Amino acid sequence: MSAVEVAERAALTGESFVAGRRRRGTAGEVRGVDAATGERLEPAFGLATRQDAADAAAAAAEAAPVLRAAPPATRAALLRGIADGLDAASGQLVDRARLETGLPQARLVGEVGRTSGQLRLFAGLVESGLSEGLRIDPALPDRAPAPRPELRQRRLPLGPVVVFGASNFPFAFSNAGGDTASALAAGCPVIVKSHQAHPGVAELVSAIVVEVVERLGLPAGTYQALLGSGREVGTALVEDPRVRAVGFTGSRSGGLALVRAARERPVPIPVYAEMSSVNPVVVLPSAATAERGRAFVDSLLLGAGQFCTNPGLVLVPSGEAGEPFVAAAAEALAARDGQVMLTEGIRDAYVAGRDALAGRGSRIAEGGGAERAPAPSLVEAAAADLVAEPALADEVFGATGLVLRWGDERELRAALAALEGQLTATVHVDLDDAPDDERSLAADLVIALEELAGRIVVNGWPTGVEVGHAVVHGGPFPATSDGRSTSVGSLAIERFQRPVAYQDVPEALLPAALRDDAIAALPRLVDGAVVLP
């Protein structure tokens, strides 16, 4: 299907969504780009203005108290409605996303399913009542010297949330992705600053969400999406006093700029920015096999390396012990060709970062390259080099890996200590083959890595993040701006909530969700003990 045909079929208008209506931005135009060819796609999209941002903030503020009062069942219906809409439109969504991102069809089909699956997972948790965070301390009228009042606590939505879509996941981390799903699950209105790398997908997804919002009779400000400049529209949204929190997935410079803008407001707000990670992998001697070397390259090159959880750095024993792993990895990588990258800007940054890294070590393998699909690359250096120059571990977004060779445990630990906070950290060990001291080191490393990362993997690869209740996709700064949270999985709902306590509020004045009969149907903590309905 040609680009024009896709656009026609999708009936793309090039508009943003403000207060339930399509509105064409007048701050310039932008087009989607066929990642594989560089061809500029139909239609032209209008870029939103600061006024559009202000109007969206006003509509979101109007929606906030309505959503806050909406029962869990309503929020769940919204999430499920969006999930159904995405699945129903999957074919059309994937077609447009293939053009705009250059990502393979199978990956995109899977990503739509992951996105709708996450929405349904959150719906289930909301329906269970667990996301209400109920805590009850009953009154003790006879307590001496003073009676104890009754306290009922619940978690309430923070209010309007601005979500910045990511280029590398047009579905899972964009308009109806993780941050949007968790904010809506919490009861927060969402304004998405759509990513310009996939404007068509952003419009298609937004149209689905807006339709569901309208069908359920929810306020028009429940979900809005603006295509616009990050510097103009993005900053205006973050600075708007009606906005109460920000979710972001992208570059470190972009994330830190939002953090700065948010904290310089008269009333600062939280920014959850997922920024950068090289996802270190420690290979212990027993595991330095050719098979794992090839598996490392598979993980490294997946999606052209355009994953936040791409294993960009692997620590391999020096000398003979590490040779099978490194030789096989180099051989496997050399046999692979580059893949189309998401945007020209990302490609240019990749090529520059890849070549700069090669200058800091020795390039031990290079794959095949083309103009729009630059070659993957593997560079080797000594673990001690990282201690001398921690910038060696700066993320290169794309299919470049750094192999650091370590001589002994001391060198390995020094290299790990030189790393900044990470999303993931991985250990490879063959427990059947490893001698006792290596098994013991592996156990120690698991403990040590707790300080470094939000997710610890053993004998697997970090790329690919399960959507579930127990996952953490977060980590210490600068992997994220706030390591107390996760951007994937149901725990993410809590990042958009705050606790409120109600003291001695008579039944007649309590919000419906906190009255006796409503509470009895929900899981809760009563005097510190879990009570299930």
Tell me the catalytic residues: 274, 308
Decide if residue 148 touches a copy of itself (CB under 8 A).
yes
Q: Residue 157 corresponds to which tokens in the numbers above?
A: 């939505």
Decide if residue 430 touches a copy of itself (CB under 8 A).
no
Residues of 519-532 as b/e, b for ≥16 C-beta within 10 angstroms?
Answer: beebebeeeeeeee
Decide if residue 282 touches a copy of itself (CB under 8 A).
no
**Please, what is the minimum distance in Å from the beta carbon of residue 407 to a copy of itself?**
23
Select the residue interacting with a copy of itself from 36, 151, 216, 384 (CB under 8 A): 151
Task: Render 285-331 in DSSP notation, one character per residue.
Answer: GGG--HHHHHHHHHHHHGGGG-STT---EEEEESGGGGHHHHHHHHH
Q: In this complex, which beta carbon is closest to a copy of itself, that of residue 175 or of residue 422? A: 422
Tell me the number of residues near a copy of itself by CB under 8 A.
86
Decide if residue 124 touches a copy of itself (CB under 8 A).
yes
Nearest Cα to Cα of residue 227 among 164, 272, 160: 164
Decide if residue 360 touches a copy of itself (CB under 8 A).
no
**Please, what is the minimum distance in Å from the beta carbon of residue 494 to a copy of itself?**
8
**Please, what is the minimum distance in Å from the beta carbon of residue 173 to a copy of itself?**
18
**Please, what is the minimum distance in Å from the beta carbon of residue 220 to a copy of itself?**
20
d(CA 102, CA 84): 25
Per CB under 8 A, the segment of 166-174, 261-269, 376-384, 402-410 that binds a copy of itself is 261-269
Q: Are 36 and 46 in contact (CB under 8 A)?
A: no
Decide if residue 518 touches a copy of itself (CB under 8 A).
no
Residues 6+ apart with CB under 8 A from 236: 50, 53, 54
Q: Which residue has the tokens 């066929």?
A: 34
Select the residue interacting with a copy of itself from 75, 80, 152, 428 (CB under 8 A): 152
d(CA 352, CA 435): 42
Q: How far is CA 264 from CA 239, 320, 425, 445, in A?
A: 9, 54, 33, 39
Decide if residue 263 touches a copy of itself (CB under 8 A).
yes
User: 3-class DSSP state for residue 334?
Assistant: helix
User: 3-class DSSP state for residue 164?
Assistant: strand
**Please, what is the minimum distance in Å from the beta carbon of residue 505 to a copy of itself?**
5
**Please, what is the minimum distance in Å from the beta carbon of residue 349 to a copy of itself?**
23
Per CB under 8 A, the segment of 194-202, 262-270, 313-321, 396-404 that binds a copy of itself is 262-270
Decide if residue 457 touches a copy of itself (CB under 8 A).
yes
Decide if residue 521 touches a copy of itself (CB under 8 A).
no
Select the residue interacting with a copy of itself from 4, 11, 335, 500 (CB under 8 A): 500
Q: Which residue has the tokens 């009850």?
A: 136
Select the residue interacting with a copy of itself from 388, 391, 521, 529 (CB under 8 A): 529
Residues 6+ apart with CB under 8 A from 60: 160, 189, 190, 191, 221, 224, 242, 243
| Interaction pattern, residues 70-109, with a copy of itself; x per rule: CB under 8 A | ----------------------------------------
Select the residue interacting with a copy of itself from 156, 188, 210, 522 (CB under 8 A): 156
Q: Are 428 and 317 in contact (CB under 8 A)?
A: no
User: 3-class DSSP state for residue 227?
Assistant: strand
Q: In this complex, which beta carbon is closest to a copy of itself, that of residue 209 or of residue 471? A: 471
Provide the CB-side half-sphere exposure for 441 (13 A, CA).
19
Decide if residue 483 touches a copy of itself (CB under 8 A).
yes
**Please, what is the minimum distance in Å from the beta carbon of residue 393 to a copy of itself?**
15
Decide if residue 121 touches a copy of itself (CB under 8 A).
yes
d(CA 532, CA 132): 13
Residues 58-77, interacting with a copy of itself (CB under 8 A): 65, 68-69
